Amino acid sequence: MSRAIRLVLFLSAMLLAQLAAAGWNYRIGEPAPEFQLEALDGKVYRSTDLKGKWLVVSFMTTWCPFCNAAAPHFEQLNQEYGKRGVQAFIVDVSEKPDIVSHWVEKRKLTCPVLLDGTGAVTTSYAPPPDFVPDLKREEVMIASFMIIDPEGTIRFLKLNEDVAKFDARLIKLRATLDELLPKQ
């Protein structure tokens, strides 16, 4: 399927998701699914090794316009909150490493970019099939942002269910982090 067709399907599904997502709090307060993924640099990240840290996770693709808009702000978040002990990383969904590597270089991203080549890990975080049934489960998570606390509990999850109000600057995510993190 061409990038243009995938993009049109994705945007159409996101508009449908907007209608389905009103008041939706999926996964908030639940344990985050465990994962093991390799990053572009070859380092393996395991959720079990990350317990005890605040995590900020974004599921992205190189072809997603929302991801491209949010990427520089996510990098800025990584720089600022990394100083406060937050581990931020991107999970790239079902793309080839060479494509992702070029995207990361072009955007000068320094946060770890984990590769979910099959989409299986991303799917484990996704809402049930009745939520935007036209999309694959891993595609529902594209352009989403999540905070996981040191105990491994999901404390914030923002899906891109309202494309007209997409928060590329991550204002709500930052505000939630500021509320959750110990004051400095």
Strands 36-39 and 113-116: what pairing?
antiparallel
Helix axes 171-180 and 65-82, enclosed angle (nearest 10): 30
Helix axes 97-107 and 65-82, enclosed angle (nearest 10): 60
Q: Average pLDDT in the 66-80 region?
A: 96
Buried b (16+ CB within 10 A) or exposed e, 114-135: bbbeebebbbebbbeeebbeeb
- CATH number of the structural domain spanning residue 23: 3.40.30.10
Which helix (H) or strand (E) is 47 found in, with range?
Answer: helix 47-50
- Name the percent of the chain lying above pLDDT 90: 71
The pTM of the full predicted model, rounded to 2 decimals, is: 0.85
Whether pLDDT at 109 is above 90: yes
Q: Read off the pLDDT of residues 34-62 as tens digits, 9 standing for 90 and up.
A: 999 999 999 999 999 999 999 999 999 99
Q: How many domains does the chain have?
A: 1
Looking at this protein, which amino acid is placed at residue 172?
Answer: K
- Domain with 65, as residue range(s), is 3-180
Q: Which of 15-24, 89-98, 152-161, 174-183 has the lowest mean pLDDT?
A: 15-24
